Amino acid sequence: MTAPVSPVVVEVVRNAFNSAAEEMSVSLFRGAHTPVIYEAKDCAVGLYDADARLLGQAPGLPIFLGNIQACIQHVTAKIGLDGYADGDVFVLNDAYIQGSHLTDITVLAPIFVDGALVAFAATRADGGHLGGKDLGVSTGTRHIYEEGLRIPPVRLVKAGVPDEEIFDLLSLNSFFHSARRGDLEAQIAACYKGAERIRAIYRKFGRPVVEAATADIFRQSEELDRRAVAAIPDGTYTASGLIDDDGVSGTPVRVQATVRVAGDEITVDLTGSSPATPGPVNSGRVQAISACRVAFKELINPEAPVTGGNFRNLSVVIPEGSVFDAHEPSPVQWYYTPLGLLIDLVQQALAPVLPERVAAAHFGDSMIVSFVGTARDGAGAEDFVLIDAETGGWGAFHDGDGQDAMINVINGDFKNLPIEFVENKFPITVESYGLRQDSEGAGRFRGGLGVHKTFRVEQEGTALSLWLDRSVTPAWGLFGGHEATGPVAIVAPGTPDERRLNKITDLRLPAGRSVQILTGGGGGYGDPHDRDREHVARDVTDGYISARRAEEVYGLDASQAVTTTD
């Protein structure tokens, strides 16, 4: 037990922790060289106590929720709390420690106050290529060593002195030498900023008060979590689905989630999920736990800031040797594909008891389209790598339609690439881009629409790679809502060479070849015949759905039909 502390101080400290994390985040965005970090926010930033419990975090990729904690615990287990020195900074990326793929770099630093280790600051950011076999995305990897350089926890800065040799080692292994170094420096600067703020908070209130306040902050989060779970009827709820394949073997991969609610405790049991796969859809155990936390958080107090007191009533059971328990040398490049499905499945499982909290499934994956080649412009030639994450439809919910054309749920504030940016930076033309009519899961509330986007490559030999999963289990509906249409790519549409594909690695294209991407929609909620007739008619007028679909699926009778304007 810690000493009682004023509720005022607790609230001030709680806000200060989150504000300190925000400052870290500002510092990271200011310093980062890689657009996917400062613009797409493919990163995570947090402050942790000496036991690696979260004090405060800033918005970043939701899917990283909670697994930086595991990285700190790993380093501490290895060197002991005594092993840290003031001014140390560690870097690591090993998939079997942090759970995610090797382009994600975790940087963490101990924070000392008056000679005692009181906290940690940590960041994770995706800086792109680091020693992998492909400059773009790898789709057909069979072991981790094809995916990049593995970094165990390494002291990048020793007691305030940067180790230039390690910086050089890491920069040299990246296609983007100087950006790699710049990103690392930005991650370190962010940790130092966090440390500075934590020290200021400790100086202001004193260690006993801060620790007592921290304990109370954790108590608050735990209490709110427990109260919310206690309100869910006890029982066992199950859902399962398939991802298309692992990118190598061509067979579907099963994900099963069994959710057990007992009093104020909740368990997500992944027993029944496929064993580890030869292809790159495995995730480290800690990353699977993170995904369960995201699923939990979407349903339990989603608006409250996350702290070390959250998830204490959440247990996760991961079967040994499963796709969620990657071990050396399992490849992990697409670790998030089964996790996105898992998050949707937890919602499906709990739908009967949380009908107003859940949403039907969304299009479900990051829908990655990649073009790699050499741009020849007059005299010069330069290699280029375009990695584009396409949008799709989100699931409908109890009082609203799923949104059209959104980025993958697990990617938060990540943004799509502007067409004008793509055309300026790459020898590629976008011929058309828009909402994909009739791709939604029909329902009383309908799912969101997917998109169509047609690229045309200008340079001979441009290599296309695709990862468009969730065609075997497209976004399902809830409570009578229909499932949506899944994704597909059409190479050379409307020509004798036309090919339909979902996954491919390095397909060489001739100059002038078109590739049309069609992404999936989101699932519907409730029976489409119960949809407000005006809304059905409106969707026809606006061209979201065809008149025929309105009639056949939504049961709009001809007298209510409206002519479309386009």
Partner 1 sequence: MPYRLAADVGGTFTDIVRLDEATGACLATKVPTTPDDIAAGVVRGFDEIVDGDYSDVTGIVYGTTAGLNALIQRTGARTALVTTRGFRDVYEIGRGNHPDMYDNQYRKPEPLLRRRDVLEATERVDRHGRVVTPVDHGELRALAQRLTDGGYESVAVAFLHSYVNPANERAAAEILRTALPSTVPVTLSNDIAPELGEYERVSTTVLNAYVTPVIRRYVTRLRHLLTERGFTGHAFVMQSNGGVLTEQVAAAQPVRIIMSGPVGGVIGAGAIGAGLGTGHVLAVDMGGTSFDVSLIVDGAPQIALESHLEGFPVLAPSVQTLSIGAGGGSIAWTEADSMRLGPRSSGARPGPVCYGLGGREPTTTDANVVLGRIATEDFLGGRMPLSPDLAGRALDDYGARLGLSAAEAAEGILTVANSAMADAIRQITLQRGLDARDFTLLAYGGAGPLHAVALAEELEIGRVVVPPRPGAFSAWGMLHAPLRHDGAVSVLRPLDALTAEDLDDTFAAIRAGLDPGIVATLEADGSVREQRSLDLRYRGQKYSVNLPLDGLAGTGSIRAAFDARYRVLFGFASPDTPVEVVNARLALVVKQAYAGPHGVPQPAGPARPRHSIQGRYDGLRHVTAVVDRDDLAADEQVPGPAVLTELTATTVVPPGWRAAVEADGSLSITRLPDTDTAR
Please say which residue, 152 or 493, places its beta carbon nearer to partner 1. 493
Bridge pairing between strands 253-262 and 104-113: unpaired
DSSP string, 189-223: HHHHHHHHHHHHHHHHH-HHHHHHHHHHHHHHHHH
DSSP string, 403-451: PSSB--GGGTT--PPPHHHHHHHSSEEEEEEEE-TT-SPPSSBPPPP-E
Q: How far apart are CA 312 and CA 90, in angstroms?
A: 27
Q: Least CB distance from residue 274 to partner 1, whole Å?
A: 25
Please say which residue, 285 or 452, places its beta carbon nearer to partner 1. 452
Coil, helix or strand at residue 269 = strand
Please say which residue, 59 or 252, places its beta carbon nearer to partner 1. 59
Coil, helix or strand at residue 172 = helix
Q: Least CB distance from residue 146 to partner 1, whole Å?
A: 27
The number of angstroms, rounded, from the C-alpha of 21 to the middle of its chain's C-alpha atoms is 20
Largest CA distance in the chain: 79
Describe the strand order of the beta sheet including 451-457 as a list of residue ranges: 428-435, 451-457, 514-518, 488-491, 499-501
Q: Least CB distance from residue 421 to partner 1, whole Å?
A: 6
Q: Least CB distance from residue 179 to partner 1, whole Å?
A: 9
Q: Least CB distance from residue 214 to partner 1, whole Å?
A: 13
Please say which residue, 221 or 256, places its beta carbon nearer to partner 1. 221
Bridge pairing between strands 462-467 and 503-509: antiparallel
Give the start-end residues of each E strand in 288-341: 314-317
Please say which residue, 326 or 360, places its beta carbon nearer to partner 1. 360
Nearest residue to 127 via CA among 104, 97, 148, 147: 104
Q: Least CB distance from residue 299 to partner 1, whole Å?
A: 8
Please say which residue, 117 or 449, places its beta carbon nearer to partner 1. 449
Please say which residue, 418 or 512, places its beta carbon nearer to partner 1. 418
Please say which residue, 90 or 394, places its beta carbon nearer to partner 1. 394
Q: Least CB distance from residue 547 to partner 1, whole Å?
A: 14
Q: Least CB distance from residue 431 to partner 1, whole Å?
A: 6
Please say which residue, 282 or 408, places its beta carbon nearer to partner 1. 408
Exposure letters 527-565 (e unless 16+ CB within 10 A, then b): bbeebeeeebbebbeeebbebebbbebbbbeeeebeeee
Please say which residue, 330 or 366, places its beta carbon nearer to partner 1. 366
Q: Least CB distance from residue 462 to partner 1, whole Å?
A: 17
Describe the strand order of the beta sheet including 503-509 as a list of residue ranges: 380-389, 368-377, 462-467, 503-509
Angle (nearest 5°) at CA 138 between 278 and 90: 95
Q: Least CB distance from residue 240 to partner 1, whole Å?
A: 20
Whether the Cβ atoms of residue 375 and residue 360 lie closer than 8 Å to each other: no
Q: How far apart are CA 361 and CA 301, in angstroms?
A: 20
Length of the chain: 566
Nearest residue to 483 via CA among 315, 364, 346: 364
